[in-house]
Amino acid sequence: MFMTEPFVVGVDLGGTKVEACLLDADRRILERVRLPSEAEKGADRVIENIRRVIDAVSAGRDYAAVGMGTPATYMEDEDRLFGAPHTPLYEKPGFIRRFRDSLPVPLLIENDANCLALAEFFAGCSGTYRSVMAVILGTGMGSGLILENKLYRGAAGGAGEIGHTSVNVDGRLCGCGRKGCAEAYLSGPSHTRLFFERTGKRLALQEIYSLYEQGDRQAVELLNESCRVMAAVFADAVNILDLEAIILGGGVSNLSLWYSRVPPLMKDSFFGIPRPEFPLISAKLGDSAGVVGAAYLALRHLGLMDF
């Protein structure tokens, strides 16, 4: 295969796994490797595992920079990740600096939902739309924003926490400690809990969806409500940001009902300027989006991408 130098590495640091890819200057994926992160064995082991996936994908080739997506927001001046309650180890001050110091090249860090947004935007719709939100909906709910072709981070990198916007001020308790967050209704585990409370049956969302397709009354009621909640949250984002499309990724995104049912419901919640039926787009890159978007950070650092 023809390869254009320089090469860059993208890393996706997850709670349970760490993955890396090697990209060339034309954004071709040359290698991809995944390992368990082993966060339960401490910071040294995690850093060692990140180095192992980087060494595995680079395989002796020189790379010019590393981009890394993390399950939280990194604040450089405090050298800390904020918002990773499931992996407290990553939130400890100094963790990122130690990893950075072990690298021979620059390290760029970004929230993993922002990395997903970058990858999906450039893979699927950068020629069609300029302002999109990419939502990752699985065990949790987050999003990345591309506004006017630029990654929008907010003042300190914390923008896009759509999962922790309120759909009911007295609503269900969210994992973040607040009541009524969208995540407490729309995540995979939230569906399991909601269905259990109504039926006494503990089922994964995919199983609830099978019942829905068979016309099971409880499943139909629950997923009808989920569509209404999702439509309200997404319409709010469109009303605030004047988005052109929303991309949906993550483990919950593969149910076809979202794409047929949610856009018509959103239409009823739009305010102001007339809008056609809103494009709700299924993510295209699957679980490689995070690692590819992270590599894009490195390409931007080298002046090879603009966002």
- Least distance to Zn ion, CB of residue 183, Å: 5
Amino acid at 272: G
The Cα–Cα gap between 91 and 78 comes to 11
CB of 244 to Zn ion, least distance (A): 27
The stretch among 3-11, 58-66, 104-112, 164-172 that binds Zn ion (CB under 5 A) is 164-172
Which of 80, 164, 191, 261 lies at the binding interface for Zn ion (CB under 5 A)? 164
The answer to whether the Cα torsion of 191, 193, 197, 201 is positive or negative is positive
Q: Which is nearer to Zn ion, 65 or 72 (CB)?
A: 72
Selected binder of Zn ion within 33, 54, 151, 174 (CB under 5 A): 174
Cβ closest to Zn ion, residue 64 vs residue 176: 176
Distance CA 45, CA 276 (A): 51
- Of 36-44, 53-61, 100-108, 158-166: span binding Zn ion (CB under 5 A): 158-166
C-alpha angle 41-47-52 in degrees, rounded to nearest 5 = 105
* Contact letters for Zn ion, residues 176-215 (x by CB under 5 A): x-x--x----------------------------------
CA 32 to chain centre: 19
CA distance 181 to 203: 22
> Where would I find the H helices in 200-273?
205-213, 217-241, 257-267
Residue 224: partners with Cβ closer than 8 Å, 6 or more residues away: none
- Minimum Å gap between C-beta 9 and Zn ion is 32
Instruction: Confirm or reject binding of residue 301 to Zn ion (CB under 5 A).
Output: no
Residues near Zn ion, by CB under 5 A: 164, 174, 176, 178, 181
